[in-house]
Structure 1
Amino acid sequence: MTFSYPVAVKFSEIDLAGVVFNSHYLTWCEDAKMAFLDDLGYGPYRFAESDRLALVRHAEIDWTASLKPLDHADIRVVVERIGSSSFTLRHEIWRRGEVPLLAATCVITYVWFDTVAAAKAPLDADFREALEGARA
């Protein structure tokens, strides 16, 4: 399953080189992750109710093209790995157009965090099942 999240590049996201400043890619990926998890039934309110969070453990970004003001892109989110207390999502940022162009790939590992114990925790069984269903 591939989940897609739309992005419209704003002028406020542009740096002196005339392209999107690099930190905005991580912000977009966070937004895409939250929309993806919400689509699986694990939106922010469910996290709060279950005293769990998915926190960034590691992130890597590879840029292959630039995005400019008023470009539109889609962030395709794919479950890449499911561990015992973490999971990894691959976010592919595709610029829209007649011929879509891969602008960046962000691979982010999230750790499952228990907010009451203030420590990492094993993935909840139902959350793991939702991730596995999205991966199929």
Structure 2
Amino acid sequence: MFEYNRTAKYHETDQMGIIHHSNYIKWMEEARIEAMNQMGYPYRRFEEEGFISPVLAVNCEYKKSVCFDEKVKIKVFLKEIGRVKFTLGYEIYNLSQDNRLSAVGSSTHCFLKKGGRPVLIDKEMSEFAAALQKMNV
């Protein structure tokens, strides 16, 4: 499991003074990118190797609001991995409010070779698949 910390920015708030719901998805993406970097698999590396990684699905369930300048911690973990796609889970905690759970979510991804051919993760990206499996340790 990887953790990513950030501070809620003023421009991310809505008219009610709380973080707009769309920003939680952006935060999950930031956390995913950082987790991949920490694993040694930055997205740039995939692109240089001729892969692209579209998002197939994204989900977020909101529990408690986060406001401007509050600190959050986003936990990223592997939920599921198949031959062609994988799903990451996210838990967003508000560190400024007694570490309360503010949101949970998931995102599902695959890899394609340029031209659109799906990549078999277990065969063509076995090292990456092993690194993903370690996210649950």
Q: TM-score, normalised by structure 2?
A: 0.91
Please give the per-residue CA displacement for 1:4-40, whole angstroms capped at 9, x wherever unaligned.
0012101100011211111111111111101101111
Q: Which structure 2 residues correspond to residues 1-136 of structure 1 after superposition, within 5 A?
A: 2-97=1-96, 99-114=98-113, 116-123=114-121, 124-136=125-137
In 2, Cα distance between equivalents of 1:42 and 1:5: 16
In structure 2, stretches of 5+ residues that fail to align are: none
CA apart distance, 1:44: 2.2
Q: Which amino acid aligns with 2:133?
A: E
In 2, Cα distance between equivalents of 1:120 and 1:23: 29
Please give the per-residue CA displacement for 1:45-89, whole angstroms capped at 9, x wherever unaligned.
211221123321111111000000100001000111111111111
Percent of matched pairs sharing the same residue: 25
CA apart distance, 1:135: 2.2
CA apart distance, 1:98: 6.5
Instruction: Give secondary structure in 1 for the equivalent of 2:135.
Output: helix
Tell me the C-alpha RMSD between the 2 structures: 1.3
Count of matched residue positions in the alignment of Structure 1 and Structure 2:
134
Any conservation in 1 of the 2:70–2:96 contact (CA below 8 Å)?
Answer: no
In 2, Cα distance between equivalents of 1:42 and 1:4: 16
**Range with greater deviation from structure 2 (34-43 or 48-57):** 48-57
Question: Once superposed, which parts of structure 1, at least 4 consecutive aligned residues long, lie more than 4 Å away?
Answer: none
In structure 1, stretches of 5+ residues that fail to align are: none
Instruction: Give secondary structure in 1 for the equivalent of 2:78.
Output: strand
In 2, Cα distance between equivalents of 1:29 and 1:69: 17
CA apart distance, 1:118: 2.0
Q: TM-score, normalised by structure 1?
A: 0.92
